[in-house]
Amino acid sequence: MGSIPSLTLNNGNTIPQFGFGVFQIDPADTVKATRLALEAGYRHIDTAQMYGNEREVGQAVAESDLDRSEVFITSKLNNGYHEPADARRAFDGTLEALGTDYVDLFLIHWPLPTRYGGDYVSTWNTLIEFYREGRARSIGVSNFQPHHLRRLHEETELPPAVNQIEVHPYFTQDDVRAFCREHQIAVEAWSPIGQGLVLDDPTIVSIARRLDKTPAQVVLRWHIQHDHIVFPKSVTPERIAENIDIFDFELSSQDSEAISALDRGQRTGPDPDTFDMIPE
């Protein structure tokens, strides 16, 4: 397995381009799965307040043989805590749960334009506080569309370092990615294999067979070659090891373009312009 590359964010900090996601991993399984990922070479763990497993991620890191500085930890603000005072309390809770005095990256999980009077700007300014204090080494957003990002660009002093969005071959979000590229905002891809939808696609299967790789490995490699930061999820040891084994081959430009051409505008998750769920 080749080494995992890092990308430099717009604030000068670096981020491992490949990591381990713990979305929908039961807290009871999170410690073991995260430990397996760390043992397999993952050094970037993506969690969120909404996932309910920050404490278990922190436990897995603490129980590993790795120093805290060797593991890049991302978490995200829950939808019910966008008011500045609530965001501050929630962020303190994240640090306590993770057992650390800083996170490497902290994100607004959803813009929620139909909630809070459409004011995600004051929420972003609160994250800027965490960044200025050094308790969040980098800050960013998730599921923000260009018009959401434009408001932050026009009304605040600090642009997001990252925008974590749904991206996969059936939903390439070219407009969002182009805006992020223009404004030096790194793109993180969630649902990188479209919740499995793309794995049976004939184009991807054909490329995988020719390269003696799995369809998932081909799609993850496509993400890497598009400079996306990606963090697939699994609780299966074999799959955890397989997912990270993508740094010993490259896709040709023709193969990469063929995968990109599969875009059909097919979301697997909610629309950021209408999503307004606040978990109980």
State the catalytic residues.
51
Here the tokens at position 127 are: 């994250």
**Cβ–Cβ < 8 Å for 88, 122:** no
Contact 134, 103 (CB under 8 A): no
How far, in Å, are 104, 184, 189 from residue 112 at the CA level? 24, 23, 19
Distances (CA, A) of 27 to 4, 31, 191: 27, 7, 20
CA 49 to chain centre: 14
Continuous H helices in the chain = 27-40, 54-63, 84-98, 121-133, 146-155, 174-182, 202-211, 215-225, 237-244, 253-260
